[in-house]
A = this chain, B = another copy of it.
């Protein structure tokens, strides 16, 4: 009985957070270890279903890099990267779409639906959710796209009937072709379009680190105006660049707060939302 009461106490502690976030939309970029380790996958599914059940509106965007590479290799194709971006010819795009929509997306929704009739997978092409154009840059990367418009109709349809939308970052071009988009940037664009309360990016590090080799060098809070300086000093670099771009775009569009959290921590999502200090790095405040 003592133990039961301690548990009741935990529920009661969550009350102020529950009340603060009731009916608010939280967009989550789901990726990294949290998407590959069984124990973490289960914990993320639980967190998402719990959030929906207690009255928040989570929207999930997932990535899928390693599995695409693996599927390509299995079909005898060698991935080519330029400046960290995958060169995507038509065949690669077909494999990418098949893996993202037909495999990773269905696994994520299935894990949630085992806990309740709650998740619905959507490709960015469904209901033209994501309209993209060929990415501009110094290299021609083929079917790599950047989002030019988000049509949120299908997300609202699902949300209003009690579903959590889980988005595969495949978009449709005005040319009718499929485009592969960066999942971080898709999450930012979706959060912006939905005027979400929060955008949460799950990574495989504790947050933004002053020194990547030192996990204790976490920067707990960053203002948008500090970002250019952090880039110049190389603290925001590589894979963190598109993440930060997504963060700034979301903040600019009116999203309240953005968080970069450590997806390797079980229940990281709940902890982020249901504790005062949050975990990882919080990015706040308007235009840089």
Contact = CB atoms under 8 A, between A and B. Distances in A.
Interface of A: 1, 4-5, 7-15, 18-19, 22, 43, 46-47, 49-50, 53-55, 74-75, 94, 97-103, 105-106, 109-110, 113-123, 125-128, 151, 153-154, 156-158, 160-163, 170, 172, 176, 178, 265-267, 270-271, 274-275
Contacts of A8: 47, 266-267, 270-271, 274
A130 to B, nearest CB: 11
Nearest to A12: B46
Contacts of A274: 7-8, 11
A212 B142 CA distance: 47
Contact of A4 (B99, B105, B271): B271
The 9 A-B pairs at the shortest CB distance, nearest first, are namely: A102-B102, A8-B267, A98-B102, A157-B161, A101-B102, A10-B10, A117-B128, A120-B126, A8-B270
Contact of A5 (B103, B127, B271): B271
Nearest to A158: B157
A116 to B, nearest CB: 5
Q: State the copy count for this chain.
A: 6
6 contacts: A5-B271, A15-B115, A19-B53, A101-B105, A121-B126, A154-B161
B5 A267 contact: yes
Contacts of A153: 117, 161-163
B265 A1 contact: yes
A9 B117 contact: no
Contacts of A157: 157-158, 160-161, 163
A21 B227 CA distance: 45
Contact of A120 (B75, B154, B162): B154
B12 A11 contact: no
